[in-house]
Amino acid sequence: MENFVSIPENLKPKNKKFGAGPSSIRKTALAKVAASDLPGTSHRQAPVKNLVGSLRDGLKELFTLPDGYEVVLGNGGATTFWAVAASSLIRERSAHAVFGSFGEKFAETVSGAPHLKEPYLELGGVSARAQGRETSSEIAFLRGDQEGIDAYCYPAHETSTGALSPVKRIEGGLNLVDATSIAGGITVDISQTDVYYFSGQKCFAAEGGLWVALASPAAQERANEIKTTPGAGRWIPPILDFSVALKNSVKNQTLNTPAIATLLLWEDQVQWMLAEGGLPAMEKRTRASSAVLYDWAHSRADVSPYISAPKEQSPVVVTIDFHDIDADQVIAQLRANGIVDIDPYRALGRNQIRVACFPNVEVADTQALTACLDYVIDRL
C-alpha cells in the first residue's frame, strides 16, 4: 500500500480482531472443536442432544431464568427470528422502537407480513434524523398500553451505532427484545422481557446461523394460541413457527439440522463465562475495555465518541467519529498491519471507527489498539 505506516510489533495487540460479529473466538474453544468427535455425527443422537442440553442449561444459569421461561433455539440467526416473530408471536399489530439499521430491518419484516396491520414505529437517534427530525437521544422509547398493540419490540443494543437501551418492561403486550449483540456482555433482568433473543457470533463467540430466544410463559402461550386459533388468517411454515421450535428445544434439538461446530463453540463460551463469574464478570470486562476507548476518544481533539450521552454508550460496540482525519485511511493502515475489522457500519455513512469490546477482548488489547491508532494517526 502507498505510504504504509509500519506499526512496531511491541505496540500491537496480541489479539488483533475487533469485529462486531463474527467476533474473536478463544483459541481454546477452537481447539475443543478440532478435538471433538461430535462434528459429523447425528444431531438426533444422545451426544449432540446432550450438547444442546448443556448449552440450554448453561444459558438458563447464566441469565438466571425466572420460573417457566424456556431457552428456545432454531436455525437462521436473529434475522430469521424476526420472521418467526412476524409469523407466530405478533397477533395483530406491533410497536417498534427504531433507532438504527437493525431495528429498521425488524420493522420492515413485520411491515411486509400480509396478515399483520402496519406496525407502529417510534423513531429515535439516526432513524429520526433520517426523517428530518431533531433529537438529542440516540434511542427511542415506546409508550405502553397502546390500543390495538399486542407486541412491543425494541433493540436492547443497536449494533450499527453502538446505542444502548434500558431493558424495562412495557406494559400491555409481549416484550420482544433484540439482544443480538449485547446478550452475554451485560447484566439483565430477564423478567422484564418476554423474549430476549440473540445470535451466537457476538458476545458468545460462536459462528453465525443459530438464534436463541429466552421465552416467557406468555410468549410460549402466544405462539400456541396463534397456531391453534381458527381463522388466525396466516400460513406458518414450520421453520417460522415458534411453537414448533419450542417443542423441539425442550427435547434438546432443533427442527432441522444445526451446525454442530457452532453449538460446540457456543456451549464452551457459556461454560467459560460461568467459570469467570457469569454476567457481572462479563460486564466488568466489557466496561473496562470500552472505557479505554471512550477515554481515548476524549483524550484527542480530533476524535470524539459518536454516542455522547454516557448512559446510551454501549459497553460492547464503541463508535468513534474522526474529525479532519480520514477514518478509511486509518482503518486500511491498521488492516495492513494485521489489526482488523474496526470499520464502521457502512449504512451509517460516517467518518468513524467501530470497535467491538465483547467479553473475549482483553483490556490490554484495547489499550494496545489505542496506542496503534495514535501511532498511525500521528504519522499520516
Ligand X SMILES: Cc1ncc(COP(=O)(O)O)c(C=O)c1O
Nearer to ligand X, 62 or 317 (CB): 317
Tell whether residue 79 is a contact of ligand X (CB under 6 A): yes
The x, y and z cell numbers of residue 104, run together, are: 429498521
The rounded distance, in Å, linking the Cα atoms of 59 and 362 is 23
Nearer to ligand X, 255 or 363 (CB): 255
Tell whether residue 155 is a contact of ligand X (CB under 6 A): yes
**Residue at 94: amino acid letter:** S
Contact 282/185 with Cβ under 8 angstroms?
A: yes
Nearer to ligand X, 78 or 270 (CB): 78
Residue 367: how many CB atoms within 10 A of its CB? Answer: 17
Q: Which residues lie across from 304 on neighbouring strands?
A: 321
Question: Which residues between 239 and 278 bind ligand X (CB under 6 A)?
Answer: none
The residue length of the chain stands at: 380
Block residue for cell numbers 454442530:
260
Among 19, 22, 208, 278, binds ligand X (CB under 6 A): 208
The interface region with ligand X, picked from 62-70, 71-79, 124-132, 358-366 by CB under 6 A, is: 71-79
Contact 145/175 with Cβ under 8 angstroms?
A: no
Q: Taking CB positions, which residue lies at the least distance from ligand X?
A: 77
Tell whether residue 127 is a contact of ligand X (CB under 6 A): no
Question: Which residues between 186 and 205 bind ligand X (CB under 6 A)?
Answer: 199
Tell whether residue 154 is a contact of ligand X (CB under 6 A): no
Contact 240/88 with Cβ under 8 angstroms?
A: yes
- CB neighbour list of residue 85: distance below 8 Å, 6 or more residues apart: 94, 106, 110, 151, 153, 176, 195, 242
Among 15, 23, 127, 180, binds ligand X (CB under 6 A): 180
Please give the angle made by the CA atoms of 193, 88 and 51, to the nearest 5 degrees: 70
Among 94, 159, 319, 337, binds ligand X (CB under 6 A): 159
Nearer to ligand X, 175 or 180 (CB): 180
**With 0-12 CB in 10 A as exposed, 13-18 as middle and 19+ as buried, what is 56?**
buried
Block residue for cell numbers 466496561:
287
Contact 288/113 with Cβ under 8 angstroms?
A: no
The interface region with ligand X, picked from 33-41, 175-183, 271-279, 322-330 by CB under 6 A, is: 175-183
The interface region with ligand X, picked from 74-82, 129-137, 268-276, 289-297 by CB under 6 A, is: 74-82
Number of residues that bind ligand X (CB under 6 A): 12
Tell whether residue 305 is a contact of ligand X (CB under 6 A): no
Helix/strand/coil for 247: helix
Give the nearest distance from C-beta 102 to ligand X in angstroms.
4
Give the nearest distance from C-beta 138 to ligand X in angstroms.
14
Residues within the interface to ligand X (CB under 6 A)? 21, 77-79, 102, 155, 159, 178, 180-181, 199, 208
